[in-house]
Structure 1
Amino acid sequence: MANIVNLDRVSKGYGAAGPLLTDVSLGLDDADRIGVVGLNGAGKSTLLRLLTRTEDPDDGRVTHRRDLRVAWLPQNLTLKPDATVRDVVLGTEWLAESMGAEHEWAGDAGVRAILDGLGMAHLGLDAPVGPMSGGERRRVALAALLVRDADLLILDEPTNHLDVGGVDWLARHLLGRKGALVVVTHDRWFLDAVCTTTWEVADQTVHAYEGGYAAWILARAERERVAAATEARRQNLLRKEIAWLRRGPPARTSKPKFRIDAANALIADVPPPRDTMSLQRLATARLGKQVYDLEQVRLHAGPKTILDDVTWQVGPGDRVAILGANGAGKTTLLRLLAGLTRPDGGRLITGSTVRAAFLSQELAELPSELRVLEAVEEVARRVRLGDREISAAQLAEVFGFDDRRLWTPVGDLSGGERRRLQMLRLLAGEPNVLLLDEPTNDLDTDTLAALEDLLDSWPGTIVVASHDRYLIERVADSAYGLFGDGRLVHLPGGIDEYLARTTGRPAPGRTATPAAAATTAPADGTGMSAAEARQARKDLARLERQVGKLEQKEAALLDQLAANATDYGKVAELDAQLTQVRAEREQIEEAWLALADEIPAG
């Protein structure tokens, strides 16, 4: 690997806001895949602007390798309204400064494949961008980056405005792309799927961790366990996150055994994320037996059919995810359940005890003249969540509003903070049904973890439409899909089944055709035959056994070092042996990881 970008003792701040980054030194290699995480306002986007050299640091310096080609997607961009998709994607006006003058443009077929992957198959290359929605313009800009070759691709929230299928396609596209990648995103599944290193922006500096979101959570919990015993509440939340990661879908459990053992030691006494049976009983007590009954419902959005003769029931304590492409009608369905629109035919029966709270994608009008705590107490001073009662201030703290921010005027809040305030005001009203439309928009990973922790003990019905795969797998117990044909389809296999239906790829654990099971067939596009894959798995198991033996040997040497602490000659001898064992174990772990990457899933 070759170094392409360096930050040397860089500091950056903005006027009255004070410093965001202080004395930061980082290096970026040409094959790095880095995910950037941190609280809203911590300085993630500022870090990206420094990396691209679109902003200069206050102190220190940022250096690029000569002739480095950088392509980046900022959060806010402006496209000329009279420009066409072809102008943006194949033109030079928007990207010329960052990409340089010389390019090898992709052919129209390649451009079409990228637009299709980003969920824009309906657009022609000559379509003007002026009439497009903000999400469509952002996807066109993303396509403009992806058709180009770049040494460094920097993306600020690229999954915004992408549906589940689009996020899945983008992850696979980036995994097959050469060059370095730096991405800021709140999409935790995407971080795990794409990134091999995590940068956490916090406390005016940047901490680097090996691995994606799951590895970052584990390393962060371990660091706090050792160094921050005073943060007991936060530690418990992180440990619960790890418990979810360990108990989650099979893709997450295919981690090295020696890393799983470390996680198990942390979560040995952590219960499952939620007690489903108890929550069902509580929900039934609050809601009765009826929540929503749809009987032969027909529903349209303009001329488009969303539901056609659909019969469906949502019961007390159900946790339902609605999946579908952008424009499939997820929001329209939620608005129907919220009573904001009526069916065009059939009947919607809503239980008499239902008190629904609808979180829309738009930021509802908030009382800008009030302060944060006053805005929450305007709804309720005390809130009962499950079997516990908390104050408005305690609820606000769950959503990241500390004592200082409680007295901030609502009008001074950022977009992410306003989204958090909107959600906690809904919960303060003590609804028994939550209808959530893209609830993860503008929320950082810590706030998402806190929200999921709160929902774990929430005894009510949840219907959520989201492109956030992690949230859906974490919060929902069942999934239904809208496929644009008027049906609402139950998906027992969840997101994997949805992607299999929309992309034609077999779901994990399923075989597309009998030929795919033949021993000579390549496995999952990796170039490895089924027989080779079986041998590789045997080698993987052998390496795991070797790691286990070396761990035992290391533990024995540590015991001997403790027993011979006063014998300096013996200590030197044992320390040399320990160094050798650790080096050998590290070498075998690297071999395990390299082999694991080659073996197809399944």
Structure 2
Amino acid sequence: MAHLLGAEALHLEYPTKVVFDSVTLGVNEGDRIGIVGRNGDGKSSLLGMLSGRIEPDSGRVTRRGGVRLGVLDQADTLNDDETVGHAIVGTRPEHEWAGDPKVRDVIAGLVSDLPWDAPIGTLSGGQRRRVALATLLVGEWDIIALDEPTNHLDVEGIAWLAQHLRSRWPRNAGGLLMVTHDRWFLDEVAGITWEVHDRVVEPFEGGYAAYILQRVERDRQAAAIEQKRQNLARKELAWLRRGAPARTSKPKFRIDAANALIADVPPARNPVELSRMATARLGKEVIDLVDAGVAFGEGAARREVLRDIEWRIAPGERTAVMGANGAGKSTLLALISGVLAPTAGRVKRGKTVKLAILDQQFSELEEIAHERVREVLARTKTSYVTDGKELTPAQLLERLGFAREHLSARVGELSGGQKRRLQLLLVLLSEPNFLVLDEPTNDLDTDMLAAMEDLLDSWPGTLIVVSHDRYFLERVTDQQYAILPGSDGAGRLRHLPGGVDEYLRLRAGETIGGGRALRPAQGTGTAPLPEPVDGGGAVPPPVDGHGASTLSGAERRAAEKELASVERRMEKLQQKIATDRDGLAAFDQSDYALLNAEMATITALEDEVAALEERWLELSALLE
């Protein structure tokens, strides 16, 4: 594979911290790289150095001649005076961009609901982010670098973006670098994962699931140093293997090894025990929404947001609520919490319900912004029980990723991720039995998301979650509902036995059935996009990001036969390596020559396994 971008011996240092020390890495044609790590460890700084926006203190970044690199920053750099259309397509003639199916696809996927001639300054933060992403994606790039691209996108938009990035280039062309905390998105798009930690960048093969598997193996070798982190990763791996067995593309013997590793790990949650505890705390009646509806305005201006909502929330229920932006999710949460009264139907609340909300605005932290974290914790209850263990508030905060030195910081000086963790801690210490989480994953890195999930696994109460993080939704909830518009435009609540996949299918059908064309919003003064001229009546479907197979029947059978042979050989070698390692204990430990010879034999076997793994991956890709 041809080289696109490289970095050699990068060193980056700030007055209080060394961020990177002698980092060397490269990006080749066909690489799809996800960058993960704790907040503050340097993910965005790495992306900045590779894209040329940050100059390293030493070392160098090289780029192949003629390579075009496009970057999406977290910072908003759009011009307020520009229109949506001008920001995305510039001064290109309409017949030129409107006749390009790639441009039409980006517009339809990201900004079809925005007025084409609306000034950028009139848009919300989420709408501006979608315009910035669309502006980047309509361009022609050899490498694209994305910093938190899923921020402000709903589940449907994230699914579209994953499909777009998978199919944007042929299989062995183009390069993608992305910093994201969205683990489902990583699994869908990334073929390589870079973990940024402790001033280095450590590469892993595969997306998030494969990264977790390899990280557990690494952590097992350093269990004395990383015991806490290892236990959390093993629990995450247990859910990955049990809840979504198709998420890893490792050989069979690797999957068997993973299953052996987690054989003694209990399920993430004990639903029977949690239900029993929740019923004891809540009683049988929690919150019932009976034919509930909400409308705003009067007369001709009256707009019905929700209609005929029938939902009897049970004790211990763990439910995700999905819907497009503006569908009515926040209105539904307001009904449940009692902030908003229904304009139709009724909401019945159990007498023992003690509800708490984790909102997006950090509203409960504003009044204590001037206080130190230590002073805030001193006023809370003295202990909290989780997983049968009694923890002090400081220990619980440490479990959520706070260092002890942060206890002396003022609340207003904390980062967004630290505020989110403190907010969750204060909510849990208030001992609610009904918890509403509104976009709880904002500002959290993947390790902290796993820590939050681990904590919620043992929380005995009713849980309602609104989030665009698909991985988080599937991880912490047991069922999903969606708010979907009816023929009159009002939102209805619908149960989704098929989960997020069913929601995406329903949304796709709704888009087609509702006549939402692949064009900017109507009434904008812009002519509709022309229909494709290929006679097919629709934009050709995108190709699979891995490329279509062109093997003949005989070639496919030969490749399948070789793949099976390679798997059998790898399994035998793994067994041989394990036996030889166990046999080392029987040797005279003072006979260094004999021990070195045996270790050389084992190393040769391991090298053969590595070579077979490479061949296995080549054959697997060929057969896709």
- Shared topology, TM-score over 0.5? yes
Matches within 5 A, 1:253-402: 255-300=250-295, 304-366=303-365, 367-385=368-386, 387-402=388-403
Tell me, in whole angstroms, the C-alpha distance in 2 between the residues paired with 1:315 and 1:490: 14
Q: How far did 1:356 drift?
A: 1.0
> What is the letter of the counterpart of residue 127 of structure 2?
E
1:63 aligned onto 2:75? no
Q: Residues 327, 524 of structure 1: CA spacing in aligned structure 2 closer, same or farther, 3 A cutoff?
A: same
CA contact 2:41–2:199 (8 Å) conserved in 1: yes
Cα-to-partner distance string for 1:233-279 (whole Å, 9 max, x where unaligned) = 22211111111111122432664212212322321211111111000
Tell me, in whole angstroms, the C-alpha distance in 2 between the residues paired with 1:288 and 1:78: 52
> What is the letter of the counterpart of residue 379 of structure 2?
E
Q: Residues 271, 306 of structure 1: CA spacing in aligned structure 2 closer, same or farther, 3 A cutoff?
A: same
1:114 aligned onto 2:100? no
CA contact 1:564–1:571 (8 Å) conserved in 2: no
**Deviation larger for 47-56 or 225-234:** 225-234
Q: How far did 1:547 drift?
A: 2.6
> Alignment partner for residue 142 of structure 2, among 146, 151, 158?
151
> What is the letter of the counterpart of residue 490 of structure 1?
H
Q: Residues 26, 143 of structure 1: CA spacing in aligned structure 2 closer, same or farther, 3 A cutoff?
A: same
Q: How far did 1:108 drift?
A: 5.9
Tell me, in whole angstroms, the C-alpha distance in 2 between the residues paired with 1:334 and 1:570: 66
- Of all paired residues, the percent bearing the same amino acid is 52
Query: What is the number of equivalent residue pairs in this alignment?
Result: 570
CA contact 1:191–1:213 (8 Å) conserved in 2: yes
Q: How far did 1:331 drift?
A: 1.8
Counterpart in 1 of 2:51?
52
> What is the letter of the counterpart of residue 114 of structure 1?
V
Counterpart in 2 of 1:432?
433
Q: How far did 1:543 drift?
A: 4.2
**Cα root mean square deviation, aligned:** 3.0
Tell me, in whole angstroms, the C-alpha distance in 2 between the residues paired with 1:558 and 1:391: 44
CA contact 2:187–2:209 (8 Å) conserved in 1: yes
> What is the letter of the counterpart of residue 408 of structure 1?
A
Q: Residues 51, 92 of structure 1: CA spacing in aligned structure 2 closer, same or farther, 3 A cutoff?
A: farther
Counterpart in 1 of 2:527?
none
Cα-to-partner distance string for 1:55-82 (whole Å, 9 max, x where unaligned) = 2112222222223211111111221112
1:551 aligned onto 2:542? no
Provide the TM-score with structure 2 as the length reference: 0.84
Counterpart in 1 of 2:205?
210
Q: Residues 92, 238 of structure 1: CA spacing in aligned structure 2 closer, same or farther, 3 A cutoff?
A: farther
Counterpart in 2 of 1:586?
610
RCO (CA 8 Å, sep 6+): is it higher in 1 or 2? 2
Q: Residues 467, 598 of structure 1: CA spacing in aligned structure 2 closer, same or farther, 3 A cutoff?
A: farther
> What is the letter of the counterpart of residue 44 of structure 1?
K
Counterpart in 2 of 1:166?
157
Q: Residues 343, 402 of structure 1: CA spacing in aligned structure 2 closer, same or farther, 3 A cutoff?
A: same
Tell me, in whole angstroms, the C-alpha distance in 2 between the residues paired with 1:317 and 1:569: 61
Counterpart in 2 of 1:98?
none
SS of equivalent residue, structure 1 residue 114: helix
Matches within 5 A, 1:8-23: 8-15=8-15, 17-23=16-22
SS of equivalent residue, structure 2 residue 436: strand
Tell me, in whole angstroms, the C-alpha distance in 2 between the residues paired with 1:316 and 1:208: 44
Q: Residues 540, 364 of structure 1: CA spacing in aligned structure 2 closer, same or farther, 3 A cutoff?
A: farther
Q: How far did 1:168 drift?
A: 1.2
Matches within 5 A, 1:560-575: none
Counterpart in 1 of 2:530?
none
Q: How far did 1:13 drift?
A: 3.0
SS of equivalent residue, structure 1 residue 130: helix
SS of equivalent residue, structure 1 residue 274: coil
- Unmatched tracts of structure 1, length 5 or more: 94-103, 506-522
1:249 aligned onto 2:244? yes
Q: How far did 1:348 drift?
A: 0.6
Matches within 5 A, 1:3-152: 3-15=3-15, 17-91=16-90, 107=99, 109-118=101-110, 120-152=111-143
SS of equivalent residue, structure 1 residue 79: coil
Tell me, in whole angstroms, the C-alpha distance in 2 between the residues paired with 1:92 and 1:70: 21
Q: Residues 267, 570 of structure 1: CA spacing in aligned structure 2 closer, same or farther, 3 A cutoff?
A: closer
> What is the letter of the counterpart of residue 208 of structure 1?
P
Tell me, in whole angstroms, the C-alpha distance in 2 between the residues paired with 1:413 and 1:337: 30
Q: Residues 330, 50 of structure 1: CA spacing in aligned structure 2 closer, same or farther, 3 A cutoff?
A: same
Q: Residues 357, 559 of structure 1: CA spacing in aligned structure 2 closer, same or farther, 3 A cutoff?
A: closer
**Deviation larger for 472-481 or 562-571:** 562-571
CA contact 1:373–1:392 (8 Å) conserved in 2: no
Tell me, in whole angstroms, the C-alpha distance in 2 between the residues paired with 1:432 and 1:538: 56
- Unmatched tracts of structure 2, length 5 or more: 511-542
CA contact 1:415–1:442 (8 Å) conserved in 2: yes
CA contact 1:376–1:424 (8 Å) conserved in 2: no
> What is the letter of the counterpart of residue 380 of structure 1?
K
SS of equivalent residue, structure 1 residue 24: strand
1:461 aligned onto 2:484? no
1:492 aligned onto 2:497? yes
CA contact 2:210–2:249 (8 Å) conserved in 1: no
Counterpart in 1 of 2:221?
226
> What is the letter of the counterpart of residue 456 of structure 1?
D
Counterpart in 2 of 1:447?
448
Q: How far did 1:160 drift?
A: 0.7
Q: Residues 560, 458 of structure 1: CA spacing in aligned structure 2 closer, same or farther, 3 A cutoff?
A: closer
SS of equivalent residue, structure 2 residue 485: coil
CA contact 1:310–1:488 (8 Å) conserved in 2: yes
Counterpart in 1 of 2:526?
none
SS of equivalent residue, structure 1 residue 310: strand
**Deviation larger for 149-158 or 295-304:** 295-304
